A = this chain, B = another copy of it.
C-alpha cells in the first residue's frame, strides 16, 4: 500500500517537471542516448543525468548499456499506473454525479453544516 503510494508520489513528481515530461515525450517516439536527450535543452549534461535518475527511480524509464552509450527506454507500465489513479478518481466522480447530483442540489441551500457527505 505504502509502496504503491510512494510509486505514485515519485511518478507524479517526475511528471511535474517540463524537462522530464519532454524527455518522456521524446522516449515515447523511441529509445535515445543521454546526449540525444540533452540536445534540445539549454542545460548541462549532469542536469539531464539527474532528471534521468529521477525518471529511473520511479520506474518510468530503464537504462541498458551499449558500449559507452546508455540508451534510455520508456517503461509504459508506470505511466499507466499514474493514468490509472486519475481514471479511478474520475470514475468515482462520475458515479457520484450519477447518484447524488439531484440530492446535492436539493440539500444545498438547506444544511448549514455543509453540503452533503458526512460519513
By a beta-carbon cutoff of 8 Å, the part of chain A in contact with chain B is 5, 8-10, 12-13, 15-18, 21, 24-25, 28-33, 36, 64, 66-67, 69, 71, 73-74, 76, 79-80, 82-83, 85-87, 89-90, 92-93, 96, 100, 104, 112-118
Contacts A83-B90, A96-B28 given; indicate if A64 touches B118 (C-beta within 8 A).
yes
Contacting pair B114 A93 (CB below 8 A): no
Q: Which residues on B sit within 8 Å (CB–CB) of A17?
A: 9
Check A36/B66 contact, CB under 8 A, given A25-B92, A86-B83, A89-B28. no
Instruction: Name the one of B66, B87, B93, B114 contacting A74, with C-beta atoms under 8 angstroms.
Output: B93
Main secondary structure of the interface of A (DSSP, over half): helix
Interface pair B31/A89, CB less than 8 Å apart: no
The chain B residue sitting closest to A116, CB to CB, is: B30
Does B71 lie within 8 Å of A79, measured CB to CB?
no
Q: Are B67 and A112 in contact (CB under 8 A)?
A: yes
**Can you offer 7 A-B residue contacts whose CB atoms are under 8 A?**
A8-B18, A12-B15, A12-B16, A31-B117, A64-B118, A66-B114, A71-B115
